[in-house]
Amino acid sequence: MDRCNRCQAILEDGTLRFVARLRLCGDYGALPDPETQAGPTADVLQAALDAAANTPESQLMETVVEEFSFVVCPSCRARLRQDPAGAATVPGPRGVRQ
């Protein structure tokens, strides 16, 4: 017997459940557009490189890529499909969005 990692519902053996995989990749948003060649200035790129050079390796590696997986029940799957980032429940600059 497993439990949904999101709502803790019991998942009896043989019942449908879903495995969610989450991959977080660091991105400074500083890559040139391959079609228009528009992109950040050399100053912006240098600042990103300087920031990386001044970050401890272990912390830098955490920003490159992290992967998580968890099991969810059908109800939580439906909620994840509607709002995968959980934006409806995350506090923003003006408090929790309704």
Binding site for Zn ion (CB under 5 A): 4, 6-7, 9, 73, 76
Supply the minimum distance, in Å, between the C-beta of residue 23 and Zn ion. 21
Closer CB to Zn ion, 45 or 80, in the complex = 80
Closer CB to Zn ion, 9 or 48, in the complex = 9
Supply the minimum distance, in Å, between the C-beta of residue 15 and Zn ion. 12
**Alpha helices per DSSP H over the chain:** 42-53, 57-64, 74-82
Closer CB to Zn ion, 46 or 70, in the complex = 70
Contact in structure between 19 and 88 (CB atoms under 8 Å) = no
